[in-house]
Structure 1
Amino acid sequence: MHKLLPTSTVGSLPKPSWLAKPETLWSPWKLQGEQLAEAKQDALRITLQEQIHAGIDIVSDGEQTRQHFVTTFIEHLDGVDFAKRKTVKIRNRYEASVPSVVGDVSRQKSVFVEDAKFLRQQTKQPIKWCLPGPMTMIDTLYDAHYKSREKLAWEFAGILNQEAKELEASGVDIIQFDEPAFNVFFDQVNDWGIAALERAVEGLKCETAVHICYGYGIKANTDWKKTLGSEWRQYEETFPTLQKSNIDIISLEYQNSKVPMELMELIRGKKVMVGAIDVATHAIETPEEVANTLRKALQFVDADKLYPCTNCGMAPLPRHIARGKLNALSDGTAILRNEISN
């Protein structure tokens, strides 16, 4: 990753309509069996081509092979019963019917490694792979077994570490852990959440990232954001601890949010994926808007540590909007790259 200001997306990109229902989270697959397996690979190829075509530097699978960024990983583990569902409040915002932890959790085989190997075969560019973070995993479950968020998080951290090591071995350059829960449960984040995340990255030699955002552009999240006041200072609670952690890259939301830019000063020294694309609107940013956001970020992040990115995943967006936003990210970054190198 020698390129200055390497661009990437947070992770998810819209799925083709022949694979799953568009603009929907937890969208059911339209195919099954071997047809579904082949269709997922086709969708992965297409989403990779779209990223490359738009000039994105660090590419991903667009999460084409998973229904949801958390539950798809959990589905492959033992100790979780998807038939025994309970309604819980996710991230203190919206109610969802979630599976129950009924016994010791464990992983019999890798979850995403075959998909990651397939992506690796398709491109020479750096690739990033996303996994759910331990705290966000426990926030998306009903725990009837451990009866302790912390204990369950540590169990998941060990499982994530096994998966991450296999992903690294299959050629993944950056492994990113998605932790939107870090913006909600501050005391737990500082007490054990970041420590659990460090357990998940133990022994990895590839780069590691943590993504902390204010959620997809779904109504429950946009309604919550309206209650956060004129300044969103949630990052202030966790950044000092993250700055001392051994996670390499911090991915954060900025575009059209009320996050004060100077909070990035708290993670000075880390690489920062700066969200310069708003995923909660269908309006496509202009390259100049993207360049302007990144320009401001340079006050707090050294140019060699600035990774232009999206605020969050784009799965719920129409495909043409997501494509437009990818182009804007790339073109806006190019403007700034030229300014810096001239």
Structure 2
Amino acid sequence: MHTLLPTSIVGSLPKPSWLAEPETLWSPWKLQGDALVEGTQDALRIAVQEQRQAGIDIISDGEQTRQHFVTTFIEHLSGVDFDQRETVRIRDRYDASVPTVVGAVSREKPVFVEDAKFLRQQTDQPIKWALPGPMTMIDTLYDRHYKSREKLAWEFATILNQEAKELEAAGVDIIQFDEPAFNVFFDDVQDWGVAMLERAAEGLRAQTVVHICYGYGIKANTDWKATLGSEWRQYEKSFPLLQQSSIDIVSLESHHSHVPLELIELIRGKKVMLGAIDVASPTIETPEEVADTLRNALRFVDADKLIPSTNCGLAPLSRDLARGKLRALSAGTALLREELTGVEV
């Protein structure tokens, strides 16, 4: 593996059409029972192969075994009733029908550990596994039991820590917590959000990432982005706190966004997973565009701390488009690597 500028995707890849409806976010499974287990494992194998063929260095599962990046984890916990639905506002952007917390939440058994072991068998490259962050989890539920965002988040953080420790034992090198809610609930981030994240990551030897983006390229998110003005400065609130935290890597959206690059200075000293691929655009980036995005960031992050990545997940795109974007990420990174080392790769 290249030690300089190792590439990675944030998490999701499109699922094969025989497994779920193409170009649809969170679409239902087309298989059931044993066929679904076999189908998701086959899809995971393909996701690994496509990342490797595209030259990606840190391999993910492509989220092939889960329908949704938050609720698939919650479905495996007790204390949450998926039949009792309430409509809540998600991240202050759109209404959704969500399950209800009806009692104490707990994790009866591991959620993703078997999947992670299966991923570990597919490659000898470093592997990364994504979990939902505590704040984003509570934003996807109606709480009838704890009646405190902070108390519920603490319970989830404790559960996530149990899961993360078992993922580490299964051979996962990097554990990522997805916290898009950090771009919305600034007071909560300051009051308890970062503390919950640290609780989730407590005692891990694996590298830890927090991923904070502006969401998939769905209408609710693109409409919201259009209201944010010419500069998106949301990271200004969380980055100084994360810079002081125990989290190793901060993953952010950059390419085609209005995030001022100098905000990266606020996490100086941390590793930066920089989004150099726009997941909301049907255009495949050129290697030069990717290299430009990464090169510009080098004013604020040292090259040995930069991990070129995608802005967010690639799940809603076509498989061809996602493959093209993976190749562009690798090719653009290779250009910059060559510039920095003088060695053609």
Question: Aligned ranges for residues 130-169 of structure 1 at < 5 Å?
Answer: 130-169=130-169
Equivalent residue for 1:74? Answer: 74
Question: Which residue type is aligned with residue 109 of structure 2?
Answer: K
In structure 1, the gaps of 5 or more residues are none
- 2:2–2:57 contact (8 Å) kept in structure 1: no
- 2:277–2:329 contact (8 Å) kept in structure 1: yes
Distance (whole Å) between structure 2 residues aligned to residue 195 and residue 96 of structure 1: 27
* Superposed displacement of residue 57, structure 1: 0.1
CA deviation vs aligned residue, 1:81-140 (integer Å, no higher than 9, x gap): 000000101000001110000000000000000000000011000000000000000000
* Superposed displacement of residue 25, structure 1: 1.7
**Aligned alpha-carbon RMSD (Å):** 0.6
1:336 aligns with 2:332: no
Distance (whole Å) between structure 2 residues aligned to residue 118 and residue 82 of structure 1: 28
* Superposed displacement of residue 3, structure 1: 1.6
Equivalent residue for 1:119? Answer: 119
Equivalent residue for 2:57? Answer: 57
Equivalent residue for 2:286? Answer: 286
Extract structure 1 runs of 4+ deviating beyond 6 A.
none
Equivalent residue for 1:274? Answer: 274
* Superposed displacement of residue 236, structure 1: 0.2
SS at match of 2:175: strand
Distance (whole Å) between structure 2 residues aligned to residue 61 and residue 55 of structure 1: 15
Instruction: Report sequence identity in percent.
Output: 79
CA deviation vs aligned residue, 1:201-238 (integer Å, no higher than 9, x gap): 01100100000000000000000000000000000011
CA deviation vs aligned residue, 1:237-281 (integer Å, no higher than 9, x gap): 110000000000000000100000000000000000000000001
Question: Aligned ranges for residues 83-232 of structure 1 at < 5 Å?
Answer: 83-232=83-232
| TM-score between both structures, scaled by the size of structure 1 | 0.99
1:6 aligns with 2:6: yes
Equivalent residue for 2:25? Answer: 25
Distance (whole Å) between structure 1 residues aligned to residue 9 and residue 279 of structure 2: 11
SS at match of 1:241: helix
Pick which of 224-233 and 20-29 moved more: 20-29
SS at match of 2:300: coil
SS at match of 1:101: strand
Distance (whole Å) between structure 2 residues aligned to residue 319 and residue 167 of structure 1: 28
Equivalent residue for 2:305? Answer: 305
CA deviation vs aligned residue, 1:140-199 (integer Å, no higher than 9, x gap): 000011000000000000000000000000000000000000000001001100000000
Distance (whole Å) between structure 2 residues aligned to residue 93 and residue 217 of structure 1: 14
Equivalent residue for 2:248? Answer: 248
* Superposed displacement of residue 26, structure 1: 1.8
Q: Give the aligned length.
A: 342
Distance (whole Å) between structure 1 residues aligned to residue 78 and residue 24 of structure 2: 27
* Superposed displacement of residue 2, structure 1: 5.6
Question: Which residue type is aligned with residue 169 of structure 2?
Answer: A
| TM-score between both structures, scaled by the size of structure 2 | 0.99
